[in-house]
Amino acid sequence: MKPMARLGVGIGWRPEIAEAVERLEHLDWVEVVAENVCPGHLPESLLRLRERGVRVVPHGVSLGLGGADRPDPAKLAALGERAVALGAPLVTEHIAFVRTSSPVLEAGHLLPVPRTRDALDVLCENVRIAQDALPVPLALENIAALVAWPGEELTEARFLTELVERTGIRLLIDVANLHTNRVNRGEDPSAVLDGIPLEALAYVHVAGGVERDGVWHDTHAHPVPPVVLDVLAALRERVDPPGVLLERDDDFPAEAELAAELVRIREVVTAGAGAGPASRAEDPEGARGGDGGGADPGVRGAPALDAARTRVGLGQAALLSALVAGTPVPEGFDRQRIRVQARALAAKRASVVAKVAPELPGILGGPGPYREAFLGYARNRPMTSGYRRDALDFAEHLLIQDLPADPAARRRLTAWWRDRTGARPPGRLVRWARALTGRAA
């Protein structure tokens, strides 16, 4: 496998900290959430960073390559367009599933794939489809997970190793996720690092979190703790990572604190200088990995792969339905963990909808009443599309029930809904019919 392009030390670019990021000293590169930028209207901050020679890497969150369905060509094309617009040396995504097609459900979150032969076969085929469609190399990230699948056949290390061997994919290793899985699932980060092909490493994520009641929450909203830096140091003992990036997605600290975290990360990386094989070649094309063109020894024929997709899809649909639609927990899962994960998904959904539709909390009387109303709505109404559609569906749900109770607030919500849908609000007869249908269901 060819050496990976050298990236250096960077930070996740977010609009809330764009000015602070531009002022950071010795910044080598940034990563941007791919779905949050438009190729034709790139933020001025990113353009200025590029002019300075700071590399920009798009990081996707919505492909769901670990899902049972083949990758959406439109999503692949959109990711590729962002890579080209940003002049990126590679793009990254996750080893996760985020939706199901039967029933149509959206998690709004990265969920773990089962470490089974079926799931690995499906993932490998999806990766090959993505690799063929994208104009730049692809790397995939290990995710943090609260829920473990029953009946898994492979360890995390073996699963990642076979994925690399069969597809030539590069790995984005998140050391915070390794720590999260140590706390939540009893998985040893050292065993993962010892067992995976570190020559396939594209770069590393570092992020903060917090432990509550024995569960580690990978929040990206807290400072990076020493235990995560210890995992980074353990990785550095084994390999010289081509790039290391600090992720911070919420509750942003003062600029000086961000700079200090980057300094600590750089110190960990440089302290291990001389340890492990170096990865310094300036060869973006090497990020494709593998020798190219080789047949996958584990590939199945089309009928067998279709059968595997069906089995994986049934399992993922049962899990996601339990998490977002209140259906029974599938056999073998930890019911308490499922409840915790379901609450976390609903809370995240409420928070993201409030961000994409910030007017709603104000219309409904503040964050508290908004959150109470949204969680009541979400309890039996799973998301079937994106967050913007979810915000509109939530508003329509309230209007059908003649809510909010305050007439002025209801008029404001009606106007908000009408402005975004271009439609007339449902009349009383429609509201009655929908309410009756909902009760019957």
Q: Model confidence over 156-185: pLDDT tens digits?
A: 999 999 999 999 999 999 999 999 999 999
Instruction: State whether residue 221 is helix, strand or coil.
Output: coil
* % of residues, the chain, pLDDT over 90: 83
**What's the average model confidence in pLDDT over 420-441?**
57
pLDDT band at 4 (very low <50, low <70, confident <90, very high): confident
Distances in Å between the Cα of 167 and the Cα atoms of 88, 95, 182 are 21, 13, 27
Please give the mean pLDDT across all residues of the chain.
90
For the entire predicted model, the pTM comes to 0.88
pLDDT in tens, 298-337: 667 888 999 999 999 999 999 999 999 999 999 999 999 9
pLDDT band at 440 (very low <50, low <70, confident <90, very high): very low
Nearest alpha-carbon partner for 90 in 256, 287, 290, 384: 287
Report the pLDDT value the prediction gives residue 214, as an integer from 0 to 100.
83
pLDDT in tens, 119-142: 999 999 999 999 999 999 999 999
pLDDT in tens, 209-268: 998 888 888 888 899 999 999 999 999 999 999 999 999 998 899 999 999 999 999 999
pLDDT band at 416 (very low <50, low <70, confident <90, very high): very high
Could you tell me which residue, 99 or 297, shows the higher pLDDT? 99
How many whole angstroms separate alpha carbon 194 and alpha carbon 189?
9
Q: Are 57 and 30 in contact (CB under 8 A)?
A: yes
Distances in Å between the Cα of 257 and the Cα atoms of 207, 243, 261, 345, 409 are 14, 21, 6, 29, 40
Q: Are 210 and 176 in contact (CB under 8 A)?
A: no
Instruction: State whether residue 173 is helix, strand or coil.
Output: strand
**What's the average model confidence in pLDDT over 2-23?**
92
pLDDT in tens, 26-64: 999 999 999 999 999 999 999 999 999 999 999 999 999
Phi, psi of 371 (to 5 degrees): -65, -40
Distances in Å between the Cα of 35 and the Cα atoms of 32, 44, 280, 321 are 9, 17, 30, 25
Report the pLDDT value the prediction gives residue 296, as an integer from 0 to 100.
67
Task: Give the helix, strand, coil percentages of the chain, each rounded to 5.
Answer: 50, 15, 35
Q: List CB contacts of 291: < 8 A, sequence separation 6 or more.
A: 168
Q: Are 314 and 103 in contact (CB under 8 A)?
A: no
Long-range contacts of 216-220 (CB under 8 A, 24+ apart): 216/144, 216/179, 216/180, 216/183, 216/184, 217/344, 218/144, 218/176, 218/177, 218/180, 219/250, 219/251, 220/247, 220/248, 220/249, 220/250
Q: Chain centroid to CA 369: how far?
A: 28
Burial of 11-33, coded b for 16+ CB within 10 Å and e otherwise, reads bbbbeebbebbbebeebbbbbbb
